[in-house]
Structures are given as structure tokens and as C-alpha cells.
Structure 1
Amino acid sequence: MAVFQARKWYSRSFSSLSSHPLHICVVGSGPAGFYTAEKMLKAHQAAEIDIIDRLPTPFGLVRSGVAPDHPETKIVVNQFSRVALNERCSFFGNVSLGTSISLAELRDMYHVVVLAYGAESDRILGVPGEDLKGIHSAREFVWWYNGHPDYKNLALDLKSTETAVILGQGNVALDVARVLLRPKRELAITDIANHALVSLEESCIRKVYLVGRRGPVQAACTAKELREILGIKDLYIHIQEADLLKSPADEEELKNSRIQRRVYELLSKAVTSQPSQPRSGQRELHFVFFRRPDKFLHSDNISGNVTGVCYEKTILKENGGSGKQSAVGTGQFEDLECGLVLKSIGYKSVPVNGLPFDNHKGMVPNIRGRVLSDVPGEHTFEKGLYVAGWLKRGPTGIIATNLYCAEETVASISEDLEQGLLTPSFPKPGREGLGQLLDSRNVRFVPFSGWEKIDVKEKADGSLRNKPREKIVSWQELLKVANE
């Protein structure tokens, strides 16, 4: 019955449009996807846009990546919801590219396909012991505490150790450290997943080490994120004063970047405002600079759990004439005991069949969003195929960065339309064809009205616990609620 009702929904939407609209499919419902849809709706009145996502829920990174104690960042979903409710836009959740439907099939059905499905994998270090128990990517941890249905059962042990090491010093690393260290009564009134809140309340983690290959001048976080974690109540902050010494090259870097100057100032102030030692039982945050992991340590028993990290000390050397400094090893090593390691060294996009892909960079080769063909010796574009977001530029930037990224991709699409490189006058099945194909394969997609039902239930359940929402973390439960 749910599939039949959904079929009637998309048929009505299609019949209300002109007979030959410009059919556009956006794969991915995160910020890049919704910004792309919004800009295309404004730029082309004949455009009919379908957004597909493998999850039953929309909003991608905003729902699964933004820290629960950053509710102000999530307000952007109100803007995205208005896009989804536009009569020329439709959402198809629970539709997986490569499983439910192939890229080739989408390109046959739509005049334009924009891939904006982000980065669902992780970069690896490639050092011995990386597969030990107790070592996870920061992405896995973030998806766990944000209630992503793929990671609700993540085997995360927060009880067997008091020390966690986070490799990386970017904003995601600071988010992860903050969630581990923030008083749990403060997290209890956020939309953090309940299973994560229970585990964090029982956590024995008292010391967190944020480790970076380079120095405080090169720390990759923003001042806002750093200020927030430094401001956690009753938290001891430790930074080696010697690490704050600046070289002439450091001075030049600071001169050219206001953000880096502010970060460095905050770190310097933290050193002078802290006592020499933590109080008994006080939680601790240690910034460790000029270290890179050489191998992960484990005990001789059969448990296979990580017990520490062996670091190589580094120094900075100028990287040619770029003005940047790279970390190089010194051959000096030291060990740090820990029972949990979270790698915050970068997300990585994954390819699908038929998509040109640079495995080394983890992104799609493109020029201003136009996908470059992988035909050897040729510099041609894949007709009607575009990218936006992390798949286009790599996993960098904040949510607003996707706005400018989407604008560039939409400008490329508009230019190609004006130059006759696309043929919107030629009819394609678009939404109707997509719905029929999914129906034939018994794929129960979730329309935006299904998400609205999920939204209502999550908010109602959350109100019982004084939370903005209680996230549904089971895939089956999400589908059940959406189809009620």
C-alpha cells in the first residue's frame, strides 16, 4: 500500500509540470545537494529537480556530522526544507546509487545528474597496528553519537581506559574531544543519540590528547571551535610552552592569515592561564604538537586491543617556494599509553561504477563542477554529469562553503545549456521513470512527507526528555514511521 501511495504522489507531481521540463537529478541531500537544487530552481523555471539519498532522512552532514551541542548550525535545515517543499522539487530517500539504481540509468533518465553524495569513507594512515580494536575514525564516532543508522552498534569501549588519543587538530577533532570531555548534563539536553549519551555518561575517559604533525601556528581548527573547547568548565588544558616558539617561517605564515593568528593567540593564552598541574580527578585536554604516529601498540594477549601509540617527533621544513611548511621525521620516538584512538585525518569519497574517479585524491576529476572524462589522452567532459561538495573539491570547508561550491556548479550547467551542449527539448522520463524503476525493484523510497513524519515523532519523543529531538537510529524504524 505504501508503494502504491508513493507512486500516485510522484505521478501527480509529474503531471502538474510542462510536458518537457528540464529533468535534473541531484544525488545526495546534504548541504551541497540542497544548495545545488535551490540555485537550479531559481535559475531555471523549467527545471524539475529530484534529490535522492541512500538514507531515509535528508540533510546529510547537517544531521549526521554537526555536533549535537551546535544547534545553531542546524537551523539551515529550515532553508533546505523550503527547497524540498517546492512543487518542482522532490525527495527520494532510501535510494542508494549503485544498488537501487545505477549511474548509467540515472543519466538515461535525466538531462542533468549532479553528484553531491559527499564522503562516506576515511583516509588511512598506513602504519602498523591500524586495524587494532579500539581504533576508529572520527567519522565513525561522529556518526555514532549523531544517530546515523549505520553506526548505532559501533563497538566503542569507553569504560576500559581513561585516556583517548585523537589524531588531528581540525574542527572535527575538536568536536570529538569536546563530546568526550563536556559535562554530560550539558549533552543531555541536545539531540545526541540516546545510546551515545548513555555510553558517555558511563565513560571512564578523563584525558584526551589532540595530536598534530605540525605546530600551533599550523593548527587546522578555527578560532570559534578552539575557543569553545578551551571554555569547557573545570577542564585542565596542557600545552608545552616550548611548542609555542615561532620560527621566521612561522611568523610569515601568521602575517598572511588572520585565522591562524587568532588560533595561535588563543593557544598562547591558554598556556599562561592554566595552573602547572591538574587537580585530582580533573578532566584534562592535552595539545600535542610536532608528533606523527609511527605505529600503534598492543599487549601480548589475544584481545587485540590498542594500548598506546608510538610517535615520531617532527620538525618543520619549508616546502619549496609555496610558503607552507611540511612536517618531517627526526628519528626520535616516544610512546603514549591509551586505550582509545580516534583518527581525524580526513574523510574520503567513494566511487560508483561509471564515474571517473581519482582514488589518490578521493574525489572526481572536474573543472568547475563539470566531470572530466577518464578517456586516456583526451580532455573532454562527461555530458550532463556534474559534481558538487566534497566529491568535487575534497572534504574541506564549512557548511556555507557548499553554497559557493554549488553556485559554481550551477553556473557551469547554465553555461552548457546556453551553449546547446545539453538538450532539454529532448524528452526524458525523469521523476516518472525513476518512480517506475524503483517500484519495479520493490524499493520503498521515502518522500519528503515521510521525513516530516519522522521529524514529528523525533521531536515528540525528545520533548519527553527535555531534548529538541530523540533521533530514531534504526533503519527499519525510520522506514516504518515514514510509511505510517
Structure 2
Amino acid sequence: MRHVAIVGSGPAGYYSAEALQKSLGEGVRIDMIDRLPVPYGLIRFGVAPDHQSIKAVSRRYEKVALSPGVRFVGNVTVGRDVSVAELADLYDAVIFATGAPDDRPIGIPGDDLPGVVGSAAFVGWYNGHPEFAGLDPPLDVASAAVIGNGNVALDVARILSKTPAEFVGSDIVSHAFEALGNSAIRDIHLLGRRGPHQIQMTPKELGELGHLEDSLPKVDLADFPPEAEDSALDPGQRKSVTHLREFARLEGEKRKTIHFDFFARPLAIEGDGKAERVIVERTRLDGDGRAVGTGETYSVHAGLVVSCIGYKTPPIEGVPFDEQGGRFANQSGVIGGGLYCVGWARRGPTGTIGTNRPDGYEVAEKIAADFGEGGSTQGGAGLDRLLEERGVDVVSFDDWRRIEEAEAARARPGNPREKFVAIEEMLLARGR
């Protein structure tokens, strides 16, 4: 029997578990170790609460979690409750699927002012992540700036723009729902260094902005290259640019406006003890498509600044780390010494949820090839003894299902769940 520990229970972790089962069949036992008492990682805490169809993929992970030979070991922090060296001794292989949950810093003057938050924190706040439930972002301001031109920036702008009625059917947590319902924000500026042809927003998500009840997307047609150049884009990008061109032609007034500020590079955030404005330099594209400054600057009023410029994986003692890449040091998912990594912890924060599936399968094949004959590690039994000796309160998948049932029972009408946002509440909801 072979024993594998997977650190992290998000998409990359479950796809890896699924792949290991297919590669090794009944000859493998898998422990999914997570620092939180609840599984699914990015699906629970990263995917926007109004995108329930995307969250439905968790049912696939549940099927893996309930299959023989797979255990969820929640509320266990690797590096605190158990060391990497101990895991390597207990298991034949250890896969790190910890994602990239930390924000990359903006790196400009004023980025530490109150009112400046990273997208991991802001998304975690409205998704009920225990670490960010108490964020309390300033929503009593007239204008917000969202730095970035990807789907995360789009999510943040959309969430800031919706009416309370538009959150029916979502699992946005109550503290965020109430705060957003009382928000004074009327202008949301999406700041991007390059132009419409360089956005990293997918067409479905971008198209949603054209159907908001009380918010109007605003784009300047002068920012576009000649329309004939759209034909050189790939089909998805061309569709996204088509949405932007349609936004530029929209007329009328709504209570809120989402401004697409293209060719806008943030230089500094200023204010009297808190964020009040972003100083922006106009840019242009050079011959290689890079944004270069023109020297012309202007200011964008913003009492809330949300940075959506990327993420990084937090290092774990005992695992080689690539500081520049913000991920574990690896070669095609192999760290060495029985250690492997998948997903954003391997590649950096790139790709979609589905990108993690082939990633997990590739690493599972490498592990199967590395195993060879034999197998004499202790696996989960040894981990259980260690955690019991150390008084760690472990959460099982059955415990999680009771937490899930309790969240569903306390949901607002029309919504699937009301998440517990404190670890203590989650542990109490187990009912044991």
C-alpha cells in the first residue's frame, strides 16, 4: 500500500487525488490536509459568490472525497502542527497544492495607506474567509479604484456595482451583503496599464457588466485601435473586445458607473492619513506591446483602492522556494526528496480552475513512476498519532458535511448557504 499526503484541498489537490486513484487504484491511500476546517479552497473562498455555476464543480471533488482511500484532514497547519520532514517520513509522497493565497504588493508610494487592500483580502472578505471576515473596507466613499485588467478585477468591480436584489441566489456572506447594500460608492475605476486588446478578461464575465440593474460600464472609443485590427485577436479575446466596444456605445444614466481607464499606470496613492486618490500616468504601447509612460499624469479620486495584480504562494519551512516566481521551486511539479507540487503552487497564479486537472494528472503519473516496488510508510495512522499527541482538533469530511448542512439551514431566502466566517463557529457546527 502506498500513502500520499496532499497539502491543500482546493481544485489542484482534488484533481491530483482523482488522478492518483486512476493511476494506482486500490493501492493508494490519500490524506487531504488543509489548514481550515472546510475543503475546496479557491472554490469556496475565491470564486465570486454570484457565480454559483462555477462553484458547482465542488460536487466532483466531493465524489473523490467520499471514495474509499481518501480522507479529509482539516484544521491542520503544515509547518505548525506537523512539519514537512515529518510528513515526508510518514508518506511515500507529499504533494503541495496550497495555491497562491497571498497578494503581491503594488510597490508604489502610499500602498500602505488605510483604504488600500489586496484582492485576496477583499475577495476573502465578501466570500467569508476567516482571515478576512473582519476587514471592514471603506465603502462610505464616493469612488473606488480597482487596479488590474483581469477577471479578479472584474469580479471586484461587479460586486461593488450590484444591487442587493442582484445577490439573490449567491452565497455572499451577510456582513458583506449588508455593507455593500449601504455602500456610498458611485464610481468604480478599473485601471489598466495597457489597452482593450490586452485585457485578460473572459467574455462571459465581461458581458455581465452590460446587464447590471443600476450600474453602467463606460469605455472611451478613443482607447481602441482601428476595428479592423480586432480580426487578428483569438476568438475569445475578440469577443471580449466586442463587449468593450458595445459598452462604449451605451447611453443613459444609472446610479453607478464602472469606468474602464485604459493606458493608466498607478504611480502613487495619496491622501491625508488614508487613501483619497490614485496618481496615474498615461501610457502608450511600444513596438513590443509593452506599456511605457508618456509623462502625462492625472488623479483618480478613490477612498477605496483594491489591487488585483497577482498572487504568490506563501513559503513553508522545509520546501525549496522560488522567491522571484512566488511559488515552490520545482521542475515540472517535482520538488525532490518525495515532494511535489501542483496548481498555482507549481506554476504561479496562471490559468483557470480547469487548468489544474492536467497539472494534477501529470504529477500523479510522475509519482506513480517514482514509486517503483515496495511501500512501508505509516501514512495516515502515523499522522493521527502525531496530531493526537499534540492535541490538534482534526476535522473529518463527515464533520465538514455537518458544517455544510448547518450553513444551508441558516441561509437567507433564495441563497444556498450562509457561511460560518470564524473557525470556532465551524468547529461548533460539527455537533460533537
TM-score interval, normalised by the smaller of the two chains: over 0.9
1:49 aligns to 2:20 (yes or no): no
Q: Distance in 2 between matches of 1:334 and 1:164?
A: 16
Pairs within 5 Å for 1:232-311: 232-246=212-226, 251=229, 255-272=232-249, 274-275=250-251, 279=253, 282-299=255-272, 304-311=273-280
Per-residue deviation, residues 270-310 of structure 1 (Å, max 9, x unmatched): 212x12xx53x6210110100111000112xxxx2100000
Matched letter for residue 314 of structure 2? V
Q: Find the residue that maps to 1:306 and give its secondary structure.
A: coil
Separation of aligned partners in 2, 1:350 and 1:53:
14
Cα deviation for residue 483 of structure 1 reads: 4.9
Match of 1:368 among 332, 356, 377: 332
Write the deviation string for residues 68-92 of structure 1: whole angstroms up to 9, x where unpaired. Answer: 1111111111111111111200000
- The TM-score normalised by the length of structure 2 is 0.97
| AA partner of residue 353 (structure 2) | I
Give the C-alpha shift of residue 416 in structure 1: 2.1
**1:139 pairs with 2:120:** yes
Deviation at 1:404, TM superposition (A): 1.5
Which residue identity is paired with 1:101? V
- Residues of 2 paired with 1:83 and 1:247: CA distance? 47
Are the aligned partners of 1:23 and 1:430 in contact in 2 as well (CA < 8 Å)? yes
1:470 aligned onto 2:418:
yes
CA contact (8 A) 2:149 2:192 kept: yes
| Distance in 2, Cα, partners of 1:89 & 1:227 | 39
Separation in structure 2 between the aligned mates of residue 328 and residue 97 of structure 1, nearest angstrom: 43
Match of 1:71 among 44, 52, 55: 52
Distance 1:223 1:339 in 2: 29
Q: Quick one: distance in 2 between partners of 1:441 and 1:256? A: 57
Conserved? CA contact 2:23–2:365, under 8 Å: no
* 1:353 partner SS: coil
Tell me by how many angstroms 1:245 deviates.
Answer: 2.2
> How has the CA–CA distance of structure 1 residues 318 and 355 changed in structure 2, closer, same or farther, with 3 Å as cutoff?
farther
Q: Provide the residue aligned with 1:449 in structure 2.
A: 398
Q: Distance in 1 between matches of 2:226 and 2:111?
A: 33
CA deviation vs aligned residue, 1:408-453 (integer Å, no higher than 9, x gap): 2112222323xx3xx6x14111100111111111110100011001
Q: Check whether the contact 2:148–2:307 (CA below 8 A) recurs between aligned residues.
A: yes
Q: Are 1:217 and 1:254, in contact at CA under 8 Å, matched by a contact in 2? A: no
The answer on whether the counterparts of 1:388 and 1:405 sit within 8 Å (CA) in structure 2 is yes
The Cα shift of 1:482 comes to 2.1
How much does 1:364 deviate?
1.7
**Residues 1:466 and 1:264: Cα distance change in structure 2 (over 3 Å):** closer
Cα distance, 1:28 vs. partner?
0.3
Following superposition, the deviation at residue 360 of structure 1 comes to 1.1
* C-alpha distance in structure 1 between counterparts of 2:244 and 2:324, whole Å: 33
Counterpart in the other structure of 1:383: 337
> d(CA) in 2 for partners of 1:236 and 1:118?
34
AA matched with 1:367? Q
1:86 lines up with 2:86 in the alignment: no
Counting matched residue pairs gives 431
| Structure 1 residue 405, shift from structure 2 partner | 1.3
The structural deviation recorded for 1:326 is 1.1
* Cα displacement (A) at 1:241: 1.4
Could you tell me which runs of 5 or more consecutive residues in structure 1 were left unpaired when the two chains were aligned: 1-20, 320-324, 372-381
Q: Is 1:315 equivalent to 2:315 in the alignment?
A: no
C-alpha separation between the residues in 1 aligned to 2:53 and 2:396?
Answer: 26
Does residue 228 (structure 1) correspond to residue 208 (structure 2)? The answer is yes
Deviations 1:28-61 (A, max 9, x none): 0000000000110111020100000001000000
Give the whole-Å Cα distance in 1 for the aligned partners of 2:415 and 2:49. 11
8 Å Cα contact 2:2-2:375 kept in structure 1: no
* Unaligned residue ranges in structure 2 (runs of 5+): none
Cα-to-partner distance string for 1:230-262 (whole Å, 9 max, x where unaligned):
2212422211111012499xx4x8625222211
5 Å-filtered alignment, 1:111-150, equals 111-150=92-131
Q: Deviations over 1:73-113 (max 9, x none)?
A: 11111111111111200000000111111111111110010
- Cα gap change, 1:349 to 1:254, in 2 (>3 Å): farther
CA separation in 2, counterparts of 1:270 and 1:190? 25
1:167-246 map, 5 Å:
167-246=147-226
| Aligned match of 2:309 | 345
Q: Which amino acid aligns with 2:93?
A: V
- Cα distance in 1 between the residues matched to 2:370 and 2:209: 46
**In 2: Cα distance, 1:367 partner to 1:256 partner:** 32
Q: Which runs of 4+ in 1 moved over 3 A?
A: none
Structure ID, larger Rg? 1
Determine the C-alpha separation between the residues in 2 that align with 1:288 and 1:222: 18
Is the partner of 2:353 in helix, strand or coil?
Answer: coil
Specify which of 374, 378, 386 is matched with residue 429 of structure 1: 378
Identity of aligned residues (%): 41
State how far apart, in whole Å, the 1-side matches of 2:30 and 2:216 are: 51
What is the CA–CA distance in structure 1 between the aligned matches of 2:167 and 2:178, rounded to whole Å?
11
1:84·1:448 contact (CA, 8 Å) conserved in 2?
A: yes
